[in-house]
Structure 1
Amino acid sequence: MQTKFTNSKVLNLALASASALLFLVPTLSAIALTGNSNNSEKNISQIRDSFLVAQANCPTRRSRVDRTFETPNYYVTICSGDSQNSLGYYVGAAKDGSGGITVPLTRRSGDRYIAANGNTIYAVTPYELRVSRNGRTILNERILAVSGDDTFSARGCRNRESTFVTAETANYIVSICGGDLPGTYIGESKNGSGRIRLPLRNYGRDRFVAVNGDTRYILTRNELRVTQNGRTILRETVRNWN
């Protein structure tokens, strides 16, 4: 795949000129992340700091915006497919204006979108943006907001619901939602493979319990534990609690 480099000066000019913008946005080519280097650690550092180096814009007139995601430092746009790439495109841009990248999607699975540029993989869900290289995570940021989804907000609760707690473990995001009081447990795997929404059975201070048949979901500030017929089948430490 042929790569093209841009810098912040070119990007600033592109923002001021529609014709320059159209010229800079690639169609199928992924924007290069780093130059050649014999030092892999230096490469990883470069990608972590500036893995987005092109303008965030759908690459062709026939591809439209399907969804957008926002993290603390980046914007990601998922564009629909066209005759050149039926799955669509992953388009990202750094908030500080340092650049962006446009890459054809390689997979769409529910709320999970994956794109690849050589051995660098971009994966975004309504809960996280993860970039990995050679199987090693080099960037992982939480999603702050999602557009293009009228049913659920980025944190799992419905748009008109209150969010009481959002907890993150290594593999899951759990939201406690409700009205004036907590009433619903929502759990979703970070890889987008599944979501469950259950009424709370009971709750106390920093402890929430939901039940689905013989399966019990217990969330506390310290851990997420799932039991089945009294036997623990999953236990993960809570990394973030909001």
Structure 2
Amino acid sequence: MLLSKFAWRLGFNLTYAGILASQFFPVTQTMAQSSMLQFSGATGICPIQNSFPKRSFETSKYKLYICLGDTKNPLGYYVRVTKSDDIKITLPIVRKNGETYIAKLGEISHIVSPYEFMVNKLGRILNRERVTSAISGDGQLLVSACPQGENVLIEAVTKSFIVYICGNDKSGSYVGVARIGNEKITIPLQNLKPDGAFEKQNYLAVKGNTRFLLTRESLEIMVGDATIVKEKVIRWQ
């Protein structure tokens, strides 16, 4: 328990979360301006009359909106529009954790955050897509995966976390994001070879007494000699 509290103070949620390499981040200013146009044309998207979305997300196939709530559904409404045919579904939001929104229809859950969009049924993932833009109602970018000036080189997904290896010509930063709640930590990578080179598909970041080790097979988080998180990598891009 003390170890978990220690890691929490580092800004990373190390408990089980329960409930994306291409360079889609950082989102450019052009994309932000495009999303503002999307907001301005979003009349009629939200179920409440004369209401505009407070969040807008986009994937390769969908436009997703988070709308204000009412007395019946105070957390708000989730709206998904398919780009190919403009089919729209509207669901009540049943849970919000940071910038992660969960809407449900029976056994089907729709989960959207600034990093990913998922549809699952009783814990089984039916669909998952990268979020390519995430914009607030005033047109501001919600997140950038990598530090300024760096791009996503590798994206690894585990049950609880999304990990980005960021850089340019070479790897420079480890960025870990909790899939629920989106707590985020950014740490410079450590060299694993005596000559200063990075060992292929093995990435180590150290903050204080805590080490974050990402390999093609797993993500391991250690405090001192104790491993407090070890999760299988289920997607590597």
Q: What amino acid is aligned across from residue 113 of structure 1 in structure 2? A: Y
C-alpha distance in structure 2 between counterparts of 1:236 and 1:158, whole Å: 25
CA separation in 2, counterparts of 1:193 and 1:162? 19
Taking the TM superposition and a 5 Å limit, the aligned residue runs for 1:1-242 are: 57-81=45-69, 85-97=73-85, 99-133=87-121, 135-137=122-124, 139-148=126-135, 150=141, 152-153=143-144, 156-158=145-147, 160-192=149-181, 194-202=183-191, 203-242=198-237
- Once the two structures are superposed, residues 196-241 of structure 1 have per-residue CA deviations (whole angstroms, 9 ceiling, x without a partner) of 2222222332221111222110112222121221222222222222
Structure 1 pair 181–167 and aligned structure 2 pair: CA distance change class (3 A): same
Scaled by the length of structure 1, the TM-score of the pair is 0.65
Amino acid at match of 2:225: G
How many residue pairs get matched?
Answer: 186
What is the Cα-based RMSD across aligned positions, in Å?
Answer: 2.7
How far does residue 158 in structure 1 lie from its aligned partner after superposition?
4.2
Q: Give the 3 Å change call, closer, same or farther, for CA 138–151 of structure 1 in structure 2.
A: closer
Deviation at 1:104, TM superposition (A): 2.4
SS in 1 for 2:153: strand
Q: Percent identical across equivalent pairs?
A: 37
The aligned counterpart of 2:33 is none
- Unaligned runs of 5+ residues in structure 1 are 1-20, 26-56
Q: Residue 204 of structure 1: SS of its match in structure 2?
A: coil
TM-score normalised per structure 2: 0.67
* CA shift digits 1:55-106 (9 cap, x unpaired): xx22234432222223343332112345664422100022331722112222
Change (3 A) 1:69 1:194: same
- CA displacement, residues 162-195 of structure 1 (integer Å, 9 cap, x when unaligned): 2221111222110012354422211112223532
Amino acid at match of 1:96: S
- The Cα of 1:159 is off from its aligned counterpart by 5.9
Kindly indicate whether structure 1 or structure 2 has the higher relative contact order, using CA contacts under 8 Å at least 6 residues apart. 2
Change (3 A) 1:159 1:79: farther
Letter of the 1:142 counterpart: E
Runs of 4+ in 1 over 6 A off after TM superposition: none
Question: Cα–Cα, structure 1 residues 136 and 83, in superposed 2: closer, same or farther, change >3 Å?
Answer: closer
Counterpart residue number, 1:13: none
Higher CA-based Rg:
1
